[in-house]
Chains A and B, each alone.
Chain A
Amino acid sequence: AQSVTQPDIHITVSEGASLELRCNYSYGATPYLFWYVQSPGQGLQLLLKYFSGDTLVQGIKGFEAEFKRSQSSFNLRKPSVHWSDAAEYFCAVGPKYGNKLVFGAGTILRVKS
């Protein structure tokens, strides 16, 4: 079965601190992996995606994620968090061809000053 697990429902970090959001997936075929961010009242915005090639991918807003096949993980990282990063983050997996994205339950990030 296809599934995405985000183990942390909430994470609180201090502004300026580093951040890592965890994502583990179960997928029968070659996974195509995504991270989305959702701010209150906004739609989901694509932060980055991984299809193939270099397993460390760079995204918008200073985020990066590393694909580790052996661990079935695609963790999102940022070296220095800003207060504006407070939002909910979703990891998703999907096929290369087709519509269906499978989402994790999301991680709510709080940033304290």
Chain B
Amino acid sequence: GAVVSQHPSRVICKSGTSVKIECRSLDFQATTMFWYRQFPKQSLMLMATSNEGSKATYEQGVEKDKFLINHASLTLSTLTVTSAHPEDSSFYICSARGAGDYISSTDTQYFGPGTRLTVL
């Protein structure tokens, strides 16, 4: 149980276009989803936290107009990279926390396999 999927696993796009990445909790309802970004040989950096039905909370330094997050249902969150540029090329990872988990428990994040974005 507790499987999180991401789609696509890999995407290449032209500079200036927008790209949407989906994160789905397959066998549980996720009240909270998290989006991370990982640069080569660097840590995972939390970009934003989204709660179902409300606006996402972005970490300092993350452009909310650049990285649009929608968490419209308990099983789906999307990250849209708008007007992508080569510097947005990265590995994007989502995680999800279940509706039944102990509130605010840090350890119940289930991670997706990640999406590799390459902007040409």
A residues bordering B, Cβ < 8 Å? 4, 9, 32, 34, 36, 38, 41-46, 49, 90, 94-106
Which residues of A sit under 8 angstroms from B9, Cβ to Cβ?
Answer: 41
Which residues of A sit under 8 angstroms from B113, Cβ to Cβ?
Answer: 41-43
Chain B count of residues within 8 A CB distance of the other chain: 23
CA distance A90 to B42 in the complex (A): 11
B residues bordering A, Cβ < 8 Å? 4, 9, 32, 34, 41-46, 49, 59, 93, 95, 104, 106-107, 109-114
Of the residues A46, A98, A105, contact of B42 by C-beta under 8 Å: A105
Chain B: which residue is nearest A101 at the CB level? B106
A90, B44: Cβ atoms closer than 8 Å: yes
**With contact pairs A94-B106, A97-B104, A98-B106 given, residues A43 and B44 touching in the complex (Cβ less than 8 Å):** no
The 7 A-B pairs with the shortest beta carbon distances in the complex, nearest first, are A43-B111, A44-B111, A94-B106, A103-B43, A103-B44, A97-B104, A43-B113
